[in-house]
A and B are shown apart, each in its own frame.
Chain A
Amino acid sequence: MAGATARHMLKEAAAQAWQVPANEITAIAGVLKHEASGKSAGYGEMASAAAGLEVPEEVTLKSISDFSIIGTTGKNVDGKKIVTGQPLFGLDVQREGMLIAGLVHPPAFGQRLKSFDAEKAKSMPGIKDVFSIKLYDDDYKKMAFHFTAFNEVVVVVGESTWQVFEAKKAINAEWEDNPERTEVTSMFGNDMTATYPAGMENSEVHTAKLKEMIARNAKVSRKDGNPEKAFKEAAKVIERSYSCPFLAHNTMEPMNFFANVTEDHAELLGPTQTPEWMEVAVAERLGLPLEKVDIQMTRQGGGFGRRLYGHFMVEAAAISQRMKAPIKLVYAREDDMSQGIYRPAYYATYRAALDADNNLIGFHVKAGGIPESPLFANRFPAGAIDNYLAEDFTVDSNITTGAFRAPRSNFIAGAEQSFLDELAEEMGKDPIDFRLELLKRAQENPVGSPESNDYDASRYAGVLELVREKANWGQDQPGVHRGVSAYFCHQSYVAQVLDVVMDGNKPVVDKVTAAIDCGIVVNPGAAANLSEGGAVDGIGHAMYSQLTFNEGSAEQNNFDRYRLIRHSEAPKSIETHFVESDVDPTGMGEPPFPPIMGALANALYKATGQRHYHQPFVTNLKPIVG
């Protein structure tokens, strides 16, 4: 839209300058041209004249067939700088006189700082100061993105990162238990209340609590027909439960931020996903008016949702203000992983009622999580089954959680798609045919009003049909075990077929074939890269990753114990096919990530005969390095 407006104004400016009709001027690849008179000019030459014109209220958008940039592959704009190691990221920021700051936070969620002894650390080489900072006043009403589990932390400031990291080990701190706390934060103008219980939490207790909740009645989020009756009259009921652990974002670049705060101005520079939301908190903390706070962004070494939450920016600003010097706050990997805003832990139980002829007559999903529910009550297969019940629940926790690549979908997709696979098998149906039958029902005669279902059944079916064709589904190859999955989230539809082959008794992911409908594909090369990355990332997290807690502390705080997928575990090849579409473009960062977990579980079952219900599918792995 902005592009179309600018183009219109440039043409107007040229038309006035050349005294020719604006509709005879073309604007292609930065050049304005009037064919008949032979006049031409670069956009730059007309820019200031154009800027003086009135902004039109309505402009004609290019038609899809005239797109010259959209639909062509543009490579990573920073590619050359990345492969030659030029400074780009927050951690690369260097300034004259800049000091390095590091933090020591309570070792466990549920604790806070009581006292600390800084003498030894202060005497270490290169150390400038050691002190504690409070982030927010108790009565400050935060936005959801401002929060932190640790409002007071010990800060070490020194000349170099290594000196600061070493001095942190010499801090002797005492911690005390937090009381239970309720906090109201605002999120896009709505108030949200969260309760943070007292005490130090354990993963075993978390699991027990989720199982206890799943056995009880929960909040009904959607009910169609008479599910109770369907289950009562069923000839057979299939029930399966699924779970996943907390996950740390583990962006390869740990949290960090540069701040230079003077009497009347604050300059912040670094990797963040939410500069405009964090600005408010920084200004409040510093006691500066909003317009005196300037936040600039660097390239980010990964976000995945973690850098929506910018407590580290407030920390950096507060430290610089106190030191009266430019500082760069650097989280060690251990800080980053043990002070996260994690992906919540989730649990879901699915039940299906079949009649004597193996027809699906009822469907029930009950899901919950710590501290939020993963349920999307109105997504598929809602709308495709007459008797349908969706319930959910939550369990409070003092462990901080937040958005992680495709929030909630990143669990519920895999659970649902694994269950549908098992259901299809039970009903003696091909898993793609079974899904297409349900989608046909949702399309032709949806249960509930058409608006009550949060998906477009024909586009959903479209990706399944495309993946069936492209993966040659149904033409079995000896030794290749296949699983399929499809999901809709962030406004895009993704279907994936995953092939597993056995290497001795070890299953290996050989190939992924993906079919995606994300509307108009803006940058096919970059979109394919995201499809590949999403698949690898999803396989890795479902297979290997987990963050567990003991007495409130994360039991994994670096990559020796926290397993991320590695080269030898990635698929050998990934193929991506896009549905041709003239619908407005939709998300690509998230949608390929959730469904692959179902395709993986379903293929592993074919390969080994074993169903996987609980992530990560593989535990007790030795570190692959060292």
Chain B
Amino acid sequence: MSKEKFEGVYVYIEQRKGVIQEASLQLLGEARKLAEKLKTEVSAFLIGYQLKKLVKEPIYYGADKVIYVDNKECANYNPEIYKTVLVQLVMKYKPEIFLIAGTKYGRELAPSIAADLETGITADCTAFDIDEKGNLLQIRPPFGGRVHAYIITPEKRPQMATARPNVFPLPERNVSRKGEIIKEETEVSKPSMALIKFEKGSEAEIPIEKAEVLISFGRGFNLEDAHLLEELCDFFLKSSISCSRPIVDAGLMPRSRQVGQTGKTVRPKLYLAIGISGAIQHLAGMKDSKFIAAINKDPNAEIFKFCDFGIIGDYKEVIPLLIEELKKKQAPS
């Protein structure tokens, strides 16, 4: 197939249990910019079951067209079924560019679609542009974010990429925007893999990627002292508790609270790292925070090379001091 036959910027809009994931709406804003440069349209693919309430949302966030598949078999995400459906949509609509939010589902789904279509795919992009030849320039941060790689897919179409969540701003929701809505039927064959159970994790009141202050702890923190974290948290508005990967691997906190390369990317106003050494994979997730502070008893900890304010000491002594001072500030003088 010649690449001229492929047109338009398409975004896969991920919904989970009837809720559209913000990461895919963020991509609509980026898709609009690319479409304007290419003088083309933005379309959204949406799949699931009983989607009536959702189908217009992508339009409100910037899509010109929504193509959706509403099928009972698509009620829950299943990598095999979703892949088959999306491949059929891509074959029919022939996107020039096809973007997928790099959530866990997206990072799993996107490469399997690319492999089926035998096209190229770039992972976890943090910026996009159009080069002088009209190719999608895909910029991504491998090596724990220490380099930026510029990648293109010059011949094959669609040009596929996943994008890291919470890097692109959420476009404004505009309910007066109009667009076309198309319902598609696709074949869904019986999968050889099935979801048999889902256990919802306990989600923080404020998800860590939305918090303005993150009190984050690592292996150097003993959870017997958890009350210290909570007390500290209470001094800040829009604050939440996050952690490093070993804490999650040990089953002490849900995966949704993990910061880093294989966790979430956060950029709060204040990131306070307590008993976190500052491994490259951890830094990858929080290095763009506005103000980074650290409490660590090891003066040579890596984290001290990447923070605005560092306190060398045992958190058991430092946090109570901090709480005491913060209380003084709060008390009316």
Is this pair of chains taken from one and the same complex? Answer: no
On B, residues with C-beta under 8 Å from A are: none
Residue ranges of A at the interface with B (Cβ–Cβ < 8 Å): none
